[in-house]
Amino acid sequence: MLISSVRTSARTAHADTQLADTIGVELHNPYFDGAVLDAVVSVSAPLRFSVHRYKPLLPELHRSRTTKGVFTADFHRGLRANLRRVLEHTDGRLAARGLIDPAPLRTTVHAAALGAETIWAMLLPTLAVEAWLDSIENTPAIRWQDLSPRGAR
């Protein structure tokens, strides 16, 4: 389970880096850096994990900082800007199949658009599946051509 989780995270980080590269943004994932991982696994488990200290391997300067980048405002802003389209997804294919109850989903989307504290880890995958199903249904089929010498008659 752990290895599967790490592989999934690493693939996601790699895909994020590739996507950022396409728009000229240099993205770094230091927690997947080989030297960082080597340093972490070289330390005994009691020093790596602690219920008493947050991220015990980090230097005190980093552990005690009071600020950290938070991007939830961007999610709220994006949701407000695209509210009508997002709400269309709440009554979509998942609701039609009885897999979700659209009423609480709509309520959550409206609340998030207003800036309420939101459990994004539950909301975003639901909306992503709906958007994915929508794209499958509405994207024209690819017409393949046989360009081999036999097919170019």
For all residues of the chain together, what is the average pLDDT?
Answer: 84
Same-domain pairing of 98 and 58: no
CA distances to 12, 49, 117, 129 from 125, rounded to whole Å, are 14, 29, 17, 6
Same-domain pairing of 6 and 57: yes
- Reported confidence tier of residue 152, pLDDT bands at 50, 70, 90: low
Domain count, the chain: 2
For residues 130 and 139, what is the distance between their CA atoms, to the nearest angstrom?
14
- DSSP letter at 64? T
Query: Residue 59's domain spans which residues?
Result: 2-63
Report yes or no on 144 lying in a domain: no
In 44-62, which positions are buried (b, 16+ CB within 10 angstroms) versus exposed (e)? eeeeeeeeeeeeeeeeeee
Last residue of a domain, one of 40, 63, 86: 63
Last residue of a domain, one of 43, 63, 83: 63
Percentage, residues of the chain above pLDDT 70: 92
Report yes or no on 86 lying in a domain: yes
Report yes or no on 147 lying in a domain: no
Q: For residue range 27-51, what is the model confidence (pLDDT) as tens digits?
A: 888 878 888 888 888 888 888 777 7
Contacts of 109 (CB under 8 A, 6+ apart): 79, 83, 86, 87, 90, 123, 127
Same-domain pairing of 76 and 30: no
Same-domain pairing of 80 and 112: yes
Report yes or no on 118 lying in a domain: yes
Report yes or no on 152 lying in a domain: no
Question: Which of the two residues, 153 and 23, has the higher pLDDT score?
Answer: 23
Report yes or no on 148 lying in a domain: no
Last residue of a domain, one of 46, 63, 80: 63
Give pTM, 2 decimals: 0.51
Asked if pLDDT for residue 91 goes beyond 80, the answer is yes
CA distances to 4, 70, 75, 114 from 109, rounded to whole Å, are 31, 19, 11, 9
